[in-house]
Each structure stands twice: as structure tokens, then as C-alpha cells.
């Protein structure tokens, strides 16, 4: 199986961590880059919720610095710093995928011709790779942890996974 380089935003790490599946990332992608800005967002999350994943303790992520100059070269947008940093690094590093869940961030990345994958895409890829037996229980688990998902998208993901809705 070919593994692609991934630049990972906060949401993927946050929700996969909350359901105990963060190790799907290095099983599916190589290398996994995490911008320092994303680390800071996760650090802030640990102030209110101590079980928020700390990528420094995982051993497999490549922590990367992204200069403000690279971020400033993005088209005008209203994205958060983490999303902008992921897109800027993915654009300049030659990474294969930008790991983003935010709709506006995904739109900007796609407009810049960057391939994107989100948390749901990671779960679907993990099932196709037989790393997990089913997607639905994990999607239900991330929803229980606060992941927002429309009923139509939920149904589409379960159908793509060829599981019962």
C-alpha cells in the first residue's frame, strides 16, 4: 500500500485522539507533519480538557515550523491560524494531502489544487485498509465527542463504508 505524506490540522488529531484512534494516522500516512501552530491549539485544548492528545508524546509526527511569510502568501481568507498553517505547509512542502475538516479551509485548499482528507476520510481509508472493522461505531463516537456532522453526510459516509444506516 502506498502511503502519502499528510499535513495534519487540529481537528483530525483532536477527534481521533478522543476515540483512541490517533495511531491510524501513521498507519495510513508517511510522514505525518504537524505544524507548531497545531501543537499550540492542542496545548490550549488541554487546558480545558486534559485528555486532549499531545503529539509530542506520540513519537511518530514530524513537527514543522511554518514561517509567517508562507502564511502571508495565501489568498485572503478568514481561516484560523491552524488551518492557514496547514494549507501553507502543504502547498510548499510537496505533501500529498492536507488534513482538514473545516469547510472553508477545505474549499481554499481545493481552490489551490491541494488534495484534502478529513477525519471521516481517514476512517474510510482505515476500513479499506482493514485497520478497523467498521466505520459507523467510530463516527458515532466522534459525534458523541462533539464532532459536527449533517445527517446527510453521516448517511453518505455509512453508505460509502457499505455499512447499515
Per-residue pLDDT in tens (0 to 9) along the chain, 165 residues:
678 999 999 999 999 999 999 999 999 999 999 999 999 999 999 999 999 999 999 999 999 999 999 999 999 899 999 999 999 999 999 899 999 999 999 999 999 999 999 999 999 999 999 999 999 999 999 999 999 999 999 999 999 999 986
pLDDT for 1? 61
Q: Determine the pLDDT at residue 165.
A: 64
What's the pTM value of the predicted model, to 2 decimals? Answer: 0.94
Write down all domains in the chain, each with its CATH number in brackets: 4-160 (3.40.50.1010)
What letter does residue 75 receive in the DSSP assignment? Answer: P
Cβ neighbours for 82, distance < 8 A, ≥ 6 positions apart: 9, 10, 35, 37, 38, 41
Q: What is the pLDDT of residue 3?
A: 83
Q: How many whole angstroms from its chain centre is CA 65?
A: 18
Q: Could you tell me if 123 and 139 are in contact, meaning their C-beta atoms sit under 8 angstroms apart?
A: yes
Q: Which is it for the CA torsion 145, 147, 150, 152, positive or negative?
A: negative
Scored b (16 or more CB within 10 A) or e, 10-49 reads bbbbbbbbbbebbebbbbbbebbbbbebbbebbeebeeee
What per-residue confidence (pLDDT) applies to 46?
Answer: 94
CA-based end-to-end distance of the chain:
29
Q: Which helix (H) or strand (E) holds 62?
A: strand 62-64
Distance separating alpha carbons of residues 81 and 59, to the nearest angstrom? 24
> What per-residue confidence (pLDDT) applies to 43?
96
Amino acid at each position: 500500500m502506498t502511503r502519502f505524506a499528510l499535513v495534519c490540522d487540529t481537528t483530525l488529531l483532536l477527534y481521533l485522539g478522543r476515540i483512541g484512534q490517533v495511531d491510524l494516522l501513521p498507519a495510513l500516512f508517511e510522514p505525518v507533519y504537524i505544524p507548531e501552530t497545531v501543537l499550540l491549539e492542542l496545548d490550549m485544548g488541554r487546558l480545558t480538557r486534559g485528555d486532549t492528545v499531545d503529539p509530542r508524546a506520540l513519537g511518530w509526527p514530524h513537527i514543522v515550523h511554518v514561517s509567517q511569510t508562507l502564511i502571508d502568501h495565501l489568498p485572503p481568507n478568514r481561516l484560523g491560524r491552524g488551518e492557514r498553517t496547514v494549507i501553507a505547509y502543504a502547498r510548499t512542502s510537496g505533501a500529498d494531502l492536507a488534513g482538514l475538516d473545516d469547510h472553508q479551509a477545505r474549499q481554499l485548499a481545493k481552490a489551490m489544487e491541494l488534495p484534502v482528507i478529513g477525519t471521516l476520510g481517514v476512517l474510510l481509508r482505515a476500513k479499506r485498509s482493514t485497520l478497523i472493522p467498521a466505520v459507523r461505531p467510530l463516527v458515532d463516537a466522534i459525534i458523541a465527542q462533539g464532532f459536527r456532522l449533517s445527517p446527510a453526510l453521516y448517511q453518505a459516509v455509512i453508505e460509502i463504508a457499505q455499512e447499515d444506516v
